[in-house]
Protein backbone atom coordinates (compact mmCIF):
# COMPACT_ATOMS: atom_id res chain seq x y z
CA UNK A 1 0.00 0.00 0.00
CA UNK A 2 1.87 2.98 -1.26
CA UNK A 3 -0.71 5.76 -1.15
CA UNK A 4 -2.50 7.51 1.68
CA UNK A 5 -5.90 9.17 1.80
CA UNK A 6 -5.06 12.47 3.50
CA UNK A 7 -6.59 14.36 0.60
CA UNK A 8 -9.92 12.82 1.58
CA UNK A 9 -10.21 15.59 4.21
CA UNK A 10 -11.15 17.94 1.38
CA UNK A 11 -14.93 17.55 1.10
CA UNK A 12 -15.99 15.86 -2.14
CA UNK A 13 -18.22 17.61 -4.64
CA UNK A 14 -21.80 17.24 -3.30
CA UNK A 15 -23.01 16.74 -6.87
CA UNK A 16 -21.09 13.44 -6.91
CA UNK A 17 -22.19 12.18 -3.50
CA UNK A 18 -25.15 9.86 -3.10
CA UNK A 19 -26.90 10.76 0.20
CA UNK A 20 -27.80 7.10 0.65
CA UNK A 21 -24.12 6.14 0.56
CA UNK A 22 -23.26 8.91 3.04
CA UNK A 23 -25.97 7.71 5.44
CA UNK A 24 -24.76 4.10 5.15
CA UNK A 25 -21.19 5.16 5.95
CA UNK A 26 -22.26 7.28 8.92
CA UNK A 27 -24.16 4.32 10.36
CA UNK A 28 -21.22 1.96 9.69
CA UNK A 29 -18.86 4.21 11.63
CA UNK A 30 -21.08 4.59 14.66
CA UNK A 31 -22.89 7.87 14.01
CA UNK A 32 -26.34 8.05 15.63
CA UNK A 33 -29.58 8.90 13.88
CA UNK A 34 -31.30 11.65 15.88
CA UNK A 35 -34.48 12.25 13.94
CA UNK A 36 -35.00 14.70 11.08
CA UNK A 37 -37.82 15.61 8.72
CA UNK A 38 -39.34 12.50 7.08
CA UNK A 39 -39.01 12.64 3.31
CA UNK A 40 -36.57 15.56 3.46
CA UNK A 41 -33.51 14.96 5.66
CA UNK A 42 -32.10 13.00 8.60
CA UNK A 43 -30.03 14.32 11.50
CA UNK A 44 -26.84 12.54 12.65
CA UNK A 45 -24.49 13.00 15.61
CA UNK A 46 -21.03 11.46 16.23
CA UNK A 47 -20.53 8.28 18.22
CA UNK A 48 -20.35 8.90 21.96
CA UNK A 49 -22.02 12.30 21.85
CA UNK A 50 -25.00 12.52 24.24
CA UNK A 51 -28.36 13.12 22.66
CA UNK A 52 -28.71 16.36 24.62
CA UNK A 53 -25.44 17.75 23.22
CA UNK A 54 -25.61 19.81 20.04
CA UNK A 55 -21.96 20.60 19.29
CA UNK A 56 -21.89 18.53 16.09
CA UNK A 57 -24.95 17.69 14.05
CA UNK A 58 -25.25 16.79 10.38
CA UNK A 59 -28.40 17.28 8.34
CA UNK A 60 -28.25 14.85 5.43
CA UNK A 61 -30.89 15.26 2.71
CA UNK A 62 -32.64 12.19 1.44
CA UNK A 63 -32.09 10.96 -2.10
CA UNK A 64 -32.33 13.55 -4.82
CA UNK A 65 -35.77 14.63 -5.94
CA UNK A 66 -36.80 16.75 -8.88
CA UNK A 67 -38.86 19.88 -8.86
CA UNK A 68 -39.07 22.72 -6.38
CA UNK A 69 -40.07 20.55 -3.41
CA UNK A 70 -36.50 20.46 -2.21
CA UNK A 71 -34.45 22.85 -4.35
CA UNK A 72 -31.67 23.34 -1.74
CA UNK A 73 -30.78 19.63 -1.71
CA UNK A 74 -27.22 20.15 -3.01
CA UNK A 75 -26.61 23.09 -0.68
CA UNK A 76 -27.66 21.12 2.40
CA UNK A 77 -25.52 18.16 1.37
CA UNK A 78 -22.52 20.45 0.83
CA UNK A 79 -22.97 21.93 4.32
CA UNK A 80 -23.06 18.43 5.82
CA UNK A 81 -19.83 17.45 4.03
CA UNK A 82 -18.09 20.68 5.11
CA UNK A 83 -19.13 20.10 8.71
CA UNK A 84 -17.88 16.53 8.50
CA UNK A 85 -14.46 17.73 7.30
CA UNK A 86 -14.15 20.34 10.06
CA UNK A 87 -15.48 18.44 13.06
CA UNK A 88 -12.25 16.62 13.94
CA UNK A 89 -13.98 13.37 14.90
CA UNK A 90 -11.77 10.41 13.83
CA UNK A 91 -14.71 8.56 12.31
CA UNK A 92 -15.50 11.64 10.20
CA UNK A 93 -12.13 11.28 8.49
CA UNK A 94 -12.94 7.66 7.74
CA UNK A 95 -16.33 8.54 6.27
CA UNK A 96 -14.78 11.18 4.00
CA UNK A 97 -12.08 8.74 2.89
CA UNK A 98 -14.70 6.14 2.00
CA UNK A 99 -16.59 8.76 -0.01
CA UNK A 100 -13.41 9.66 -1.88
CA UNK A 101 -12.70 6.00 -2.66
CA UNK A 102 -15.97 4.25 -3.52
CA UNK A 103 -14.78 0.79 -2.61
CA UNK A 104 -14.60 -2.03 -0.10
CA UNK A 105 -13.01 -1.48 3.31
CA UNK A 106 -10.56 -3.85 4.98
CA UNK A 107 -9.86 -3.08 8.61
CA UNK A 108 -7.13 -4.64 10.75
CA UNK A 109 -7.20 -4.29 14.54
CA UNK A 110 -4.44 -5.63 16.80
CA UNK A 111 -4.78 -6.04 20.54
CA UNK A 112 -1.39 -4.93 21.82
CA UNK A 113 -0.12 -5.50 25.37
CA UNK A 114 -0.59 -2.31 27.42
CA UNK A 115 2.51 -0.13 27.69
CA UNK A 116 1.42 3.23 29.11
CA UNK A 117 -2.17 4.24 28.55
CA UNK A 118 -2.73 4.54 24.78
CA UNK A 119 0.99 4.37 23.95
CA UNK A 120 2.22 1.69 21.54
CA UNK A 121 5.78 0.67 20.58
CA UNK A 122 7.42 2.80 17.88
CA UNK A 123 7.65 -0.14 15.47
CA UNK A 124 4.05 -1.31 15.92
CA UNK A 125 2.64 0.78 13.06
CA UNK A 126 5.40 -0.35 10.71
CA UNK A 127 4.81 -4.00 11.59
CA UNK A 128 1.06 -3.68 11.02
CA UNK A 129 1.47 -1.89 7.72
CA UNK A 130 4.02 -4.42 6.42
CA UNK A 131 1.85 -7.37 7.42
CA UNK A 132 -1.27 -5.80 5.87
CA UNK A 133 0.62 -5.12 2.64
CA UNK A 134 1.83 -8.73 2.48
CA UNK A 135 -1.73 -9.94 3.08
CA UNK A 136 -3.12 -7.86 0.22
CA UNK A 137 -0.28 -9.02 -2.04
CA UNK A 138 -1.18 -12.64 -1.27
CA UNK A 139 -4.84 -12.00 -2.11
CA UNK A 140 -3.98 -10.32 -5.41
CA UNK A 141 -1.79 -13.27 -6.40
CA UNK A 142 -4.40 -15.84 -5.35
CA UNK A 143 -6.96 -13.96 -7.44
CA UNK A 144 -4.93 -14.90 -10.52
CA UNK A 145 -4.02 -18.49 -9.62
CA UNK A 146 -3.92 -21.01 -6.81
CA UNK A 147 -0.57 -22.11 -5.41
CA UNK A 148 0.58 -23.10 -1.95
CA UNK A 149 3.70 -21.01 -2.51
CA UNK A 150 3.98 -18.14 -5.00
CA UNK A 151 7.53 -16.91 -4.52
CA UNK A 152 8.07 -14.29 -7.24
CA UNK A 153 5.08 -15.40 -9.33
CA UNK A 154 2.42 -12.76 -10.11
CA UNK A 155 4.41 -10.05 -8.35
CA UNK A 156 3.71 -7.56 -11.14
CA UNK A 157 -0.04 -8.10 -10.91
CA UNK A 158 0.04 -7.74 -7.11
CA UNK A 159 2.06 -4.51 -7.31
CA UNK A 160 -0.40 -3.05 -9.83
CA UNK A 161 -3.28 -3.97 -7.51
CA UNK A 162 -1.67 -2.19 -4.56
CA UNK A 163 -1.27 0.97 -6.63
CA UNK A 164 -5.07 1.29 -6.61
CA UNK A 165 -5.46 0.77 -2.85
CA UNK A 166 -5.64 3.70 -0.43
CA UNK A 167 -4.61 3.59 3.22
CA UNK A 168 -6.86 5.26 5.76
CA UNK A 169 -5.70 8.51 7.39
CA UNK A 170 -3.41 8.58 10.42
CA UNK A 171 -2.74 4.84 10.88
CA UNK A 172 -1.65 3.92 14.40
CA UNK A 173 0.08 0.93 15.85
CA UNK A 174 -3.02 -1.11 16.59
CA UNK A 175 -5.36 -0.43 13.67
CA UNK A 176 -5.28 0.25 9.95
CA UNK A 177 -7.89 0.57 7.19
CA UNK A 178 -7.45 0.00 3.46
CA UNK A 179 -9.91 1.09 0.77
CA UNK A 180 -10.04 -1.07 -2.35
CA UNK A 181 -11.80 0.41 -5.38
CA UNK A 182 -14.80 -1.36 -6.87
CA UNK A 183 -15.15 -3.05 -9.28
CA UNK A 184 -11.43 -3.29 -10.11
CA UNK A 185 -10.33 -4.71 -6.79
CA UNK A 186 -13.38 -6.68 -5.72
CA UNK A 187 -12.11 -10.09 -6.85
CA UNK A 188 -9.03 -9.67 -4.68
CA UNK A 189 -11.17 -8.67 -1.69
CA UNK A 190 -13.53 -11.63 -2.05
CA UNK A 191 -10.51 -13.92 -2.50
CA UNK A 192 -9.01 -12.52 0.71
CA UNK A 193 -12.22 -13.05 2.67
CA UNK A 194 -12.58 -16.66 1.52
CA UNK A 195 -8.91 -17.33 2.24
CA UNK A 196 -9.08 -15.86 5.74
CA UNK A 197 -12.18 -17.88 6.58
CA UNK A 198 -10.56 -21.05 5.19
CA UNK A 199 -7.40 -20.35 7.20
CA UNK A 200 -9.45 -19.92 10.37
CA UNK A 201 -11.18 -23.26 9.74
CA UNK A 202 -7.90 -25.01 8.94
CA UNK A 203 -6.24 -23.67 12.11
CA UNK A 204 -9.18 -24.85 14.21
CA UNK A 205 -8.98 -28.29 12.59
CA UNK A 206 -5.24 -28.53 13.23
CA UNK A 207 -5.56 -27.44 16.85
CA UNK A 208 -8.34 -29.99 17.41
CA UNK A 209 -6.99 -33.01 15.52
CA UNK A 210 -3.33 -32.24 14.89
CA UNK A 211 -3.84 -32.85 11.16
CA UNK A 212 -2.74 -30.50 8.36
CA UNK A 213 -5.10 -31.84 5.69
CA UNK A 214 -7.41 -28.84 5.94
CA UNK A 215 -4.57 -26.52 4.90
CA UNK A 216 -3.94 -28.57 1.77
CA UNK A 217 -7.61 -28.36 0.79
CA UNK A 218 -7.66 -24.62 1.57
CA UNK A 219 -5.13 -23.84 -1.18
CA UNK A 220 -8.06 -23.93 -3.63
CA UNK A 221 -9.64 -21.07 -1.65
CA UNK A 222 -6.57 -18.83 -1.79
CA UNK A 223 -4.68 -19.97 1.32
CA UNK A 224 -0.92 -19.97 0.73
CA UNK A 225 2.50 -19.56 2.32
CA UNK A 226 2.39 -15.79 1.78
CA UNK A 227 -0.97 -15.40 3.54
CA UNK A 228 0.18 -17.56 6.46
CA UNK A 229 3.36 -15.49 6.79
CA UNK A 230 1.40 -12.21 6.79
CA UNK A 231 -0.82 -13.53 9.59
CA UNK A 232 2.19 -14.69 11.59
CA UNK A 233 3.74 -11.22 11.32
CA UNK A 234 0.45 -9.59 12.25
CA UNK A 235 -0.34 -11.80 15.26
CA UNK A 236 3.13 -12.16 16.79
CA UNK A 237 3.62 -9.84 19.76
CA UNK A 238 -0.10 -9.14 20.15
CA UNK A 239 -2.94 -10.48 22.25
CA UNK A 240 -5.05 -11.07 19.13
CA UNK A 241 -5.94 -9.73 15.68
CA UNK A 242 -9.34 -8.98 14.15
CA UNK A 243 -9.78 -8.52 10.38
CA UNK A 244 -13.11 -7.06 9.25
CA UNK A 245 -14.44 -6.33 5.77
CA UNK A 246 -17.23 -3.98 4.72
CA UNK A 247 -18.60 -3.79 1.18
CA UNK A 248 -18.83 -0.53 -0.73
CA UNK A 249 -22.34 0.83 0.04
CA UNK A 250 -22.96 1.85 -3.58
CA UNK A 251 -22.10 -1.63 -4.92
CA UNK A 252 -23.53 -3.78 -2.14
CA UNK A 253 -22.44 -7.29 -1.25
CA UNK A 254 -21.23 -9.61 -4.04
CA UNK A 255 -23.20 -12.74 -4.77
CA UNK A 256 -22.71 -15.56 -2.29
CA UNK A 257 -21.45 -13.31 0.52
CA UNK A 258 -23.16 -11.96 3.62
CA UNK A 259 -24.18 -8.31 3.59
CA UNK A 260 -22.08 -7.84 6.73
CA UNK A 261 -19.28 -10.43 6.81
CA UNK A 262 -18.29 -11.80 10.18
CA UNK A 263 -14.85 -10.53 11.30
CA UNK A 264 -12.10 -13.14 11.27
CA UNK A 265 -9.98 -13.40 14.42
CA UNK A 266 -6.59 -14.92 15.17
CA UNK A 267 -4.73 -15.25 18.48
CA UNK A 268 -1.18 -16.12 19.60
CA UNK A 269 -2.39 -19.67 20.20
CA UNK A 270 -2.82 -20.01 16.42
CA UNK A 271 0.85 -19.29 15.68
CA UNK A 272 2.14 -22.91 15.83
CA UNK A 273 -0.47 -24.04 13.28
CA UNK A 274 0.22 -21.06 11.00
CA UNK A 275 3.97 -21.60 11.17
CA UNK A 276 3.62 -25.31 10.39
CA UNK A 277 1.35 -24.50 7.44
CA UNK A 278 3.75 -21.87 6.11
CA UNK A 279 6.63 -24.34 6.11
CA UNK A 280 4.46 -27.07 4.62
CA UNK A 281 3.37 -24.90 1.69
CA UNK A 282 6.98 -24.17 0.74
CA UNK A 283 8.05 -27.78 1.16
CA UNK A 284 5.20 -29.24 -0.88
CA UNK A 285 5.16 -26.79 -3.80
CA UNK A 286 7.13 -28.36 -6.69
CA UNK A 287 9.59 -26.68 -9.00
CA UNK A 288 8.22 -25.94 -12.48
CA UNK A 289 9.42 -26.81 -15.98
CA UNK A 290 9.11 -23.75 -18.24
CA UNK A 291 10.05 -22.43 -21.67
CA UNK A 292 10.87 -18.77 -21.18
CA UNK A 293 11.23 -15.90 -23.64
CA UNK A 294 12.89 -12.78 -22.31
CA UNK A 295 15.29 -9.90 -22.87
CA UNK A 296 18.79 -10.09 -21.41
CA UNK A 297 19.20 -7.21 -18.98
CA UNK A 298 22.34 -8.18 -17.11
CA UNK A 299 25.39 -10.35 -17.65
CA UNK A 300 28.07 -11.31 -15.16
CA UNK A 301 31.00 -13.72 -15.16
CA UNK A 302 34.09 -13.79 -12.97
CA UNK A 303 36.62 -14.07 -15.82
CA UNK A 304 36.89 -12.81 -19.42
CA UNK A 305 36.22 -16.35 -20.64
CA UNK A 306 34.06 -19.21 -19.49
CA UNK A 307 30.46 -19.36 -18.37
CA UNK A 308 28.52 -16.77 -16.41
CA UNK A 309 25.12 -15.69 -15.10
CA UNK A 310 22.52 -13.74 -17.04
CA UNK A 311 19.36 -12.01 -15.91
CA UNK A 312 16.26 -12.15 -18.08
CA UNK A 313 13.28 -9.86 -18.04
CA UNK A 314 10.54 -12.39 -18.76
CA UNK A 315 8.24 -11.64 -21.69
CA UNK A 316 6.45 -14.99 -21.85
CA UNK A 317 6.50 -18.48 -20.44
CA UNK A 318 6.55 -17.84 -16.66
CA UNK A 319 4.57 -15.75 -14.17
CA UNK A 320 7.63 -13.93 -12.85
CA UNK A 321 9.24 -10.64 -13.80
CA UNK A 322 12.90 -11.71 -13.86
CA UNK A 323 14.89 -14.93 -13.70
CA UNK A 324 18.60 -15.61 -13.33
CA UNK A 325 20.25 -18.34 -15.38
CA UNK A 326 23.73 -19.84 -15.07
CA UNK A 327 25.04 -20.65 -18.57
CA UNK A 328 28.15 -22.34 -19.95
CA UNK A 329 30.49 -20.30 -22.15
CA UNK A 330 28.74 -20.86 -25.48
CA UNK A 331 25.30 -20.09 -24.08
CA UNK A 332 26.65 -17.03 -22.29
CA UNK A 333 28.20 -15.78 -25.57
CA UNK A 334 24.87 -16.17 -27.39
CA UNK A 335 23.01 -14.31 -24.63
CA UNK A 336 25.59 -11.49 -24.69
CA UNK A 337 25.33 -11.07 -28.45
CA UNK A 338 21.52 -11.05 -28.24
CA UNK A 339 21.77 -8.36 -25.56
CA UNK A 340 24.01 -6.19 -27.76
CA UNK A 341 21.71 -6.31 -30.78
CA UNK A 342 18.49 -6.03 -28.76
CA UNK A 343 17.03 -9.46 -29.45
CA UNK A 344 15.11 -11.55 -26.89
CA UNK A 345 16.18 -15.14 -26.29
CA UNK A 346 14.25 -18.31 -25.61
CA UNK A 347 15.37 -21.21 -23.45
CA UNK A 348 13.92 -24.02 -21.38
CA UNK A 349 14.72 -25.05 -17.84
CA UNK A 350 13.34 -25.58 -14.37
CA UNK A 351 12.11 -22.71 -12.18
CA UNK A 352 13.39 -23.61 -8.73
CA UNK A 353 10.98 -23.46 -5.82
CA UNK A 354 13.77 -23.11 -3.26
CA UNK A 355 14.79 -19.75 -4.71
CA UNK A 356 11.27 -18.36 -4.88
CA UNK A 357 11.03 -19.23 -8.61
CA UNK A 358 13.71 -16.66 -9.40
CA UNK A 359 16.35 -19.03 -10.81
CA UNK A 360 16.20 -21.26 -13.89
CA UNK A 361 18.26 -24.42 -13.52
CA UNK A 362 19.25 -27.11 -16.07
CA UNK A 363 18.84 -24.60 -18.92
CA UNK A 364 19.00 -25.38 -22.60
CA UNK A 365 21.16 -23.22 -24.84
CA UNK A 366 19.51 -19.83 -25.41
CA UNK A 367 18.22 -19.18 -28.91
CA UNK A 368 17.74 -15.62 -30.21
CA UNK A 369 14.14 -14.80 -31.16
CA UNK A 370 14.01 -12.73 -34.33
CA UNK A 371 11.52 -9.86 -34.30
CA UNK A 372 10.66 -7.12 -36.76
CA UNK A 373 12.22 -3.66 -36.53
CA UNK A 374 9.28 -2.07 -34.68
CA UNK A 375 9.27 -4.77 -31.99
CA UNK A 376 13.04 -4.51 -31.64
CA UNK A 377 12.83 -0.74 -31.06
CA UNK A 378 10.14 -1.29 -28.43
CA UNK A 379 12.21 -3.91 -26.65
CA UNK A 380 15.32 -1.74 -26.70
CA UNK A 381 13.42 1.18 -25.15
CA UNK A 382 12.11 -1.15 -22.44
CA UNK A 383 15.62 -2.05 -21.31
CA UNK A 384 16.23 0.41 -18.48
CA UNK A 385 19.88 -0.50 -18.08
CA UNK A 386 20.69 -0.76 -21.79
CA UNK A 387 24.23 -1.72 -22.70
CA UNK A 388 25.54 -0.10 -19.52
CA UNK A 389 24.66 -3.31 -17.69
CA UNK A 390 26.90 -5.33 -19.99
CA UNK A 391 29.90 -6.10 -17.82
CA UNK A 392 32.01 -8.14 -20.24
CA UNK A 393 33.32 -7.13 -23.64
CA UNK A 394 33.19 -9.48 -26.62
CA UNK A 395 35.14 -9.70 -29.81
CA UNK A 396 34.51 -12.04 -32.72
Cβ-based neighbours of 232, under 8 Å, separated by 6 or more: 271, 274, 275, 278
- Supply the pLDDT for residue 385: 39
Question: Does pTM surpass 0.85?
Answer: no
Nearest Cα to Cα of residue 338 among 379, 301, 305: 379
**Is the separation of the CB atoms in 253 and 247 below 8 Å?**
yes
Q: Taken in order 308, 311, 314, 315, is the CA torsion positive or negative? A: negative
Across the chain, which has 396 residues, the per-10-residue mean pLDDT values are: 51 84 88 82 81 69 58 80 84 82 90 70 85 97 96 94 83 83 94 98 97 96 98 95 94 92 97 98 95 95 93 94 96 94 93 94 93 63 42 31
Cβ-based neighbours of 357, under 8 Å, separated by 6 or more: 150, 151, 152, 153, 288, 318, 320, 323, 351
Q: How far apart are CA 16 and CA 26, in angstroms?
A: 17
Q: How far apart are CA 21 and CA 251, in angstroms?
A: 10
- Supply the pLDDT for residue 383: 46
- Supply the pLDDT for residue 392: 34
- Supply the pLDDT for residue 375: 62
- Supply the pLDDT for residue 379: 56
- Coil, helix or strand at residue 147: coil
DSSP codes, 161-203: HHHT-EEPSS-BTTEEEEEEETTTTHHHHHHHHHHHHHHHHHH
Amino acid sequence: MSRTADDALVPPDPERVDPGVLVALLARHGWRLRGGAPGRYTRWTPPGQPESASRISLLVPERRTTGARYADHCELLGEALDALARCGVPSAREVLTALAVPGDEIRWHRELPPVAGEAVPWTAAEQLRAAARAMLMSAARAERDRFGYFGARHTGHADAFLERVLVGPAPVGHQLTAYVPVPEGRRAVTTLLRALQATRDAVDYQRTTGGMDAFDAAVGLGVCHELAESLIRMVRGTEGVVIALAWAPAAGAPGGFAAVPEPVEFSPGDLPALEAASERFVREEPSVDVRVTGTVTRLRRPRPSGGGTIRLRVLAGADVRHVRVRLPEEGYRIAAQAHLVGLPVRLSGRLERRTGFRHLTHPTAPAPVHVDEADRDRLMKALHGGVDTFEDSFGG
